[in-house]
């Protein structure tokens, strides 16, 4: 892998989303803040998930991680589909960059955007609710793994889609449902048996639950189980993405 070439492509991808940061960073932060204000206002005095943890405090880590995941996915998927549709992808194809350099640059930029948005959500919501960092290492681990997993998945979606409608379908029917049904707004332990079992099949649940563990020192399942599931999913999706890039899937048509 050409480190210099990967670094150049990474900087290009970072500049791409940073030049429109009002849309790519500020807008998702505002959306998360609206979720917090609405759900927190309605349910603060009615729901307590963990002992000694108010509902609004419980909600913040979920919103932060949701923002990280959605924006990491959006960055790599939108960049690739835009390059395919506008035709400027050819300028990358003629470079001597290998598939590993493509992967490192696109996923690295997606991770950066996801983490920047997540940090922005955390800083803004800190004005409204006190948070504690019981086990901060879990916050770092699950944020990084989750962002890399969704960055890789975004590349898969961008490679597969030939138009924006297909990409929107991938996001609306796969990414969004898995995110909202992962325990962002509730504890899965409150679900009836069948839906509890279904929730445990959702890898997004393990990202949210492990990330939340870092704030409160409490979680629905062991963070080590979550780490094993998320880590395995990240490796599998990354390997699949690298395979698609190496084969030139829908890149050289």
Residue 22 CA, chain-centre distance (Å), reads 19
- For residue 126, being part of any structural domain is answered with yes
- For residue 12, being part of any structural domain is answered with yes
Of 40-49, 83-92, 147-156, 165-174, minimum mean pLDDT range: 40-49
Residue 123 CA, chain-centre distance (Å), reads 18
Q: From the CB of residue 68, how many other CB atoms can be counted at a distance below 10 Å?
A: 29
- For residue 21, being part of any structural domain is answered with yes
pTM of the model: 0.92
- For residue 84, being part of any structural domain is answered with yes
Quote the pLDDT of residue 45.
Answer: 67
DSSP-assigned states of every residue in 21-68: HIIIIIHHHHHHHHHHHHHHHHHTTT--SSTT--HHHHHHHHHHHHHH
Domain count for the chain: 1
- 3-state secondary structure at position 104: helix
- For residue 60, being part of any structural domain is answered with yes
The proportion of the chain whose per-residue pLDDT surpasses 90, expressed as a percent, equals 64
- For residue 252, being part of any structural domain is answered with no
Quote the pLDDT of residue 132.
Answer: 81
Can you count the helices (H) and strands (E) in the chain?
Answer: 12, 0
- For residue 253, being part of any structural domain is answered with no
- 3-state secondary structure at position 133: coil
- For residue 233, being part of any structural domain is answered with yes
Query: Radius of gyration of the chain from Cα atoms?
Result: 18
Question: Residue 212's pLDDT band (boundaries 50, 70, 90)?
Answer: very high
- Average pLDDT of span 47-70: 86
Maximum Cα–Cα distance across the chain:
59
Contacts of 110 (CB under 8 A, 6+ apart): 13, 71, 72, 73, 75, 76, 147, 148, 150, 151, 154
Helix axes 99-125, 3-18, angle to 10 degrees: 40
Structural domain range at position 217: 3-247
């Amino acid at each position: 892998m050409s480190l210099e070439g990967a670094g150049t492509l990474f900087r290009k991808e970072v500049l791409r989303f940073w030049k429109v940061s009002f849309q790519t960073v500020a807008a998702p932060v505002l959306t998360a803040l609206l979720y917090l204000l609405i759900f927190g206002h309605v349910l603060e005095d009615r729901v307590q998930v963990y002992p000694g943890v108010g509902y609004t405090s419980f909600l913040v880590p979920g919103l932060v991680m949701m923002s990280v995941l959605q924006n990491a996915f959006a960055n790599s998927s939108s960049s690739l589909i835009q390059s395919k549709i506008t035709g400027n992808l050819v300028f990358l194809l003629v470079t001597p960059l290998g598939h590993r350099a493509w992967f490192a640059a696109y996923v690295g930029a997606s991770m950066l955007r996801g983490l920047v948005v997540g940090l922005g959500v955390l800083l803004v919501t800190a004005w409204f609710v006190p948070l504690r960092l019981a086990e901060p290492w879990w916050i770092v681990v699950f944020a990084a793994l989750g962002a890399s997993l969704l960055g890789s998945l975004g590349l898969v979606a961008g490679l597969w889609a030939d138009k924006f409608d297909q990409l929107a379908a991938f996001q609306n029917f796969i990414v969004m449902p898995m995110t909202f049904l992962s325990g962002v707004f509730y504890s899965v332990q409150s679900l009836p048996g069948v839906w509890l079992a279904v929730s445990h099949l959702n890898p997004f649940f393990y990202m949210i639950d492990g990330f939340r563990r870092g704030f409160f020192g409490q979680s629905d399942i062991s963070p080590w189980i979550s780490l094993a599931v998320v880590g395995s999913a990240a490796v599998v999706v990354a390997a699949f993405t690298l395979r698609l890039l190496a084969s030139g899937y829908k890149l050289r048509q």
